[in-house]
Structure 1
Amino acid sequence: MKDILTRIDCNFIPVKDLSASIDWYTNKLGCRFMWQEGDYAALNVHLSQEGQGNIVSGLAMITLLQVEEIVPMSFFYQQTPHPMINFYSSDIQYTHAKLKENGVQVSEIKDMGGIQAMEFTELNGHLMGICHF
């Protein structure tokens, strides 16, 4: 049977200033700028040899979209703000140290048994997470 869906194409993240956000995501998180068209800019979190052109097969891209008003993305779980986007790191200790070195305010790493996780707030106030398992 043929798959109905192949992959997540991108995760849209609303931003107030597209240029400043491109700079933040590339310099603070190490994302790779791929293209910009009007109010949209696409970034890859990790670039592999797979894929065609600016699209990496099997990986979701981040698409920043400049908007006039920001409503920070998150929801509440057990009365605590919870990230809507969760990144994966193969070495969460390194990622934690690198983000702190880059001036990003990050939470402490939480050990939840087989999963380690941390959170950070990006330039536009969106709560995001990073996990390792």
Structure 2
Amino acid sequence: MEQPLFERMDTVFLRVRDFEQAFAWYHHTLGLPVIWRTDMIAALRAGDKTPITLVKQDAVAEPHPLFNLYTSNIQQTYERMQERGIAVGPLRDYGTVQTFDFTDAEGNVLNVCHFE
């Protein structure tokens, strides 16, 4: 039996116009704990599984993924998706995280990531 492409959904992205106001609302008003944060992006714990990641709207290019999926072997997943005829974007390596985008049958941009 073939191994699944992904182990889990990693995060759901929310693009926000006013990053500080949105961060304060999700963190202080809803009480979501901060996993990590920069001046343009913040991941907040929303239960035991999938975090919510706030992204400053003008800090990212269009289109931006709605969510990303985690894989333990990004190179293998990248190749398997190509073999299935899925158009994948370039494989990017940011040092601590590797990622690539793809689109679903409706044209929604999605993302695959790997990190240790």
Normalised by the size of structure 2, how large is the TM-score? 0.49
**Structure with more helix by fraction:** 2
| TM-score (norm: length of structure 1) | 0.43
Structure of higher RCO (CA pairs closer than 8 Å, 6+ residues apart): 2
